[in-house]
Amino acid sequence: MILVIDLCYRENSLSRAEFVGPVAGILRGVGAVPIVRHYTAVSAPDLEAADGVILCGTALKDRGFMEGPERFGWLRVFGRPVLGISSGMLPIVATFDIGIEPCPGIGMTDIQVISPDPLFAGKEIFAAYELHEFAVQVTDRFVPLAVSDRCTQALRHCSLPIYALLFHPEVRNEWIIERFFDLTESD
């Protein structure tokens, strides 16, 4: 089971259809069983049952989920694959004390893969859709995997199976979510 966490400002918001629904649909398309929970409703049994977790993106300026970053402390000990998409990377970087900096981006951008990883195997450059206000400051705890001309677009924790993407793979790069599901199957 893949736990898909809705980080939108309220449960069942219109944003859920835009940012969460496509991710769950891609997972169902590859035979996964996604369970969608609003971040305020995620329980210990949800996390225990999950083979992997996806923290979905939100609309610009929608960061209410960060008012209680301690609710994401489970990221330190979860031990199974996690994928943070766009603003879904913010709980990851907050949990691991990584800084962010202003770097707004809306629209298509070219992404260059700079480090080998199963998530991007066989890809060197691809176009992706970005919708974000911040970029992550790279530290020695995370390996940069892919960059655009302005910022780091994908990171992986050095020792945990945690990924953070600045762009939205559910828009034009569904293969990334499919490969993430494959990582949960092989774990």
Lowest-confidence range among 3-17, 29-43, 123-137?
3-17
Work out the average pLDDT over 128-144: 92
Burial of 133 by CB count in 10 Å (0-12 exposed, 13-18 middle, 19+ buried)? Answer: middle
Give the contacts of 187 (CB within 8 A, at least 6 positions apart). Answer: 51, 52, 80, 81, 161
Domain coordinates in residue numbering, the chain: 2-186
Helix (H) or strand (E) holding 11: none
Q: How high is the pLDDT of residue 152?
A: 96
Q: Is 124 exposed, middle or buried (0-12, 13-18, 19+ CB in 10 A)?
A: exposed
**Model pLDDT, residue 59:** 76
What pLDDT does 60 receive?
76
Nearest-angstrom CA–CA distance, 131 and 43: 29
* Cα–Cα–Cα angle for 173, 176, 182, rounded to 5 degrees: 150
Are 153 and 166 in contact by the 8 Å Cβ rule? The answer is: yes
81 SS3 class:
coil
Q: 2-186 is classed in which CATH architecture? A: 3-Layer(aba) Sandwich (3.40)
* pLDDT of res. 33: 92
Residue pair 97/70 in contact (Cβ under 8 Å)? The answer is: no
Instruction: Tell me whether strands 82-85 and 2-6 are parallel, antiparallel or unpaired.
Output: unpaired
Answer whether residue 25 shows pLDDT above 80.
Answer: yes
pLDDT at 64 over 80: no
Confidence of residue 162 (pLDDT cuts 50, 70, 90): very high
Residue 110's pLDDT band (boundaries 50, 70, 90)?
Answer: very high
Please report the pLDDT score of residue 45 as a whole number: 97
Q: How high is the pLDDT of residue 5?
A: 96
Supply the mean pLDDT for the chain.
93
pLDDT at 187: 61
**22 has a pLDDT exceeding 70:** yes
